[in-house]
């Protein structure tokens, strides 16, 4: 079994191609495909990645490409994002959902608190992240299928799940990265996930992302429940914060 310990001993644990240590002021490197895309959403994403707050808190552009590719192929009707931050992952997911007709809603939960005192970009503030995201969603023309919910995921997950009147086909968990927070998000959302539906955890390789809540949640809730979930851990560039993709195979 692949657990946190033997992940570190794995003969192929890709550390990511960025070998030098990250420092304040760093930015994510924009992927060529994003740079070359003429889509409005790509332009908006490049703007988001230009924002000093996007590193390292937003999903990297390479991981975003993977997220988009997953959503384009799975074509989920209802998607729930837990942890939107400044909206990079939101726009990646929405860009994918805009490709197919059967979409219903992308519901996004975040505290949307003012961002100040970020050690990665001293002196930079984003006081109204909700307005920043709303504005970007509008620029992309995605407002018809995105709903933003401000508050604690513990309160909002059950409310949203009831409101959708259907199961959720794809969830991304990228909110509170403590074990308590991450496992609570998982416990609350899992009953509402469709049979055959997916849950994607971000920041699953603690050695690289520096937080261990998602890895311990995998260890204690998912690897011990192999009959219920298919699991694949996926390396992500350039720093390998990691994704774990779960598919629910029994109710
Ligand atoms: C790492 S960031 C998410 C990054 C985003 N998914 C992206 O890749 O662009 C984590 C976010 O989770 C939010 N968060 C943390 N705890 C939360 C909670 N209990 N309820 C709702 N949101 C929470 C924070 O406000 C923060 O914006």
pLDDT at position 12, please? 66
Q: Which atom of ligand 1 is nearest to the CA of 59?
A: 8
Closest listed residue to residue 48, CA positions, set 100, 95, 80, 9: 95
Instruction: List the domain range (segments joined by +) for residue 143.
Output: 28-116+124-248
Assigned domain for 6 exists: no
Say how many Å lie between the CA of residue 177 and the centre of ligand 1.
Answer: 8
Query: What is the whole-number distance in angstroms between the Cα of residue 11 and the centre of ligand 1?
Result: 32
- Mutate which of 84, 89, 109, 185 for ligand 1? The one with the most ligand atoms within 8 Å of its CB, which is 84
Q: Which atom of ligand 1 is nearest to the CA of 153?
A: 20
Pairing of strands 168-173, 78-82: parallel
CB-ligand 1 contact for 181 (6 Å cutoff): yes
More confident residue, 117 or 18: 117
DSSP-based three-state secondary structure for 200: strand
- Specify the CATH number for the domain of residue 211: 3.40.50.150
Residue at 5 is within a domain:
no
Cβ(217)–Cβ(5) under 8 Å?
no
SS3 assignment, position 101:
coil
Residue nearest to atom 5 of ligand 1 (CA): 84
On whether residue 108 sits in a domain, the answer given is: yes
Q: Examine residue 23 and state whether it is found in any structural domain, yes or no.
A: no
**Residue 10 maps to a domain:** no
In a domain, 21, yes or no: no
Q: Is the CB of 66 under 6 A from ligand 1?
A: no
Which helix or strand (DSSP H or E) is residue 80 part of?
A: strand 78-82
Tokens of 219: 């260890």
Interval 7-12 mean pLDDT: 56
Average of per-residue pLDDT values in the chain = 94
**Residue 1 pLDDT more than 60?**
no
Q: Is the CB of 203 under 6 A from ligand 1?
A: no
Give backbone dihedrals phi and psi of 79, rounded to 5 degrees, phi first: -125, 140
- Identify whether 186 is part of a domain: yes
The number of distinct structural domains making up the chain is 1
Distance 84 CA to ligand 1 centre (A): 5
Residue 7 located in a structural domain: no
Residue 168 Cβ < 6 Å to ligand 1? no
CB of 175 shorter than 6 A to ligand 1: yes
Residue nearest to atom 26 of ligand 1 (CA): 85
Q: How far is the CA of 5 from the centre of ligand 1 (A)?
A: 26
Q: According to the model, what pLDDT value does residue 17 have?
A: 83
Q: How far is the CA of 85 from the centre of ligand 1 (A)?
A: 5
pLDDT 10s digits, 152-189: 999 999 999 999 889 999 999 999 999 999 999 999 99
Contact 145, 106 (CB under 8 A): yes
Which whole-number Å values give the CA distances from 236 to 18, 59, 188, in the listed order?
Answer: 11, 10, 26
Ligand 1 near 174 CB (within 6 A) = yes
Give the CA angle between residues 119, 124, 128 to the nearest 5°.
Answer: 110
For 10-62, the pLDDT digits (tens) are: 656 777 888 788 999 999 999 999 999 999 999 999 999 999 999 999 999 99
Report the distance separating Cα 108 and Cα 196, nearest Å: 21
């Amino acid at each position: 079994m692949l657990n946190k310990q033997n992940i570190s001993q794995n003969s192929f644990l890709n550390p990511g191609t960025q070998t030098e240590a990250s420092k304040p002021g760093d930015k994510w490197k924009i992927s060529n495909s994003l740079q070359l895309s003429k889509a409005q959403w790509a332009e908006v994403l490049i703007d988001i990645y230009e924002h000093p707050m996007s590193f390292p808190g937003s999903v990297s552009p390479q991981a975003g490409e993977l997220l988009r590719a997953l959503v384009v192929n799975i074509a989920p009707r209802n998607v729930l994002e837990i942890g939107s931050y400044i909206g990079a992952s939101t726009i990646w997911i929405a860009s994918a959902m805009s490709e197919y007709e059967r979409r219903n809603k992308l519901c996004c939960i975040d505290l949307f608190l003012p961002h100040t005192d970020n050690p990665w970009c001293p002196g930079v503030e984003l006081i109204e992240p909700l307005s920043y995201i709303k504005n970007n969603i509008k620029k992309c023309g995605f407002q018809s299928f995105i709903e933003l919910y401000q508050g604690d995921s513990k309160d909002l997950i059950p409310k949203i799940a009831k409101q959708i009147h259907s199961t959720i086909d794809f969830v991304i968990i990228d909110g509170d990265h403590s074990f308590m927070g991450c496992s609570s998000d998982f416990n609350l959302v899992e009953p509402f996930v469709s049979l055959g539906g997916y849950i994607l955890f971000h920041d699953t390789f603690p050695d690289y992302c520096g937080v261990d809540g998602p890895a311990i949640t995998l260890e204690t809730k998912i690897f011990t429940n192999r009959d219920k979930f298919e699991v694949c851990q996926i390396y992500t560039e350039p720093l390998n914060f990691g994704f774990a993709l779960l598919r629910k195979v029994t109710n």
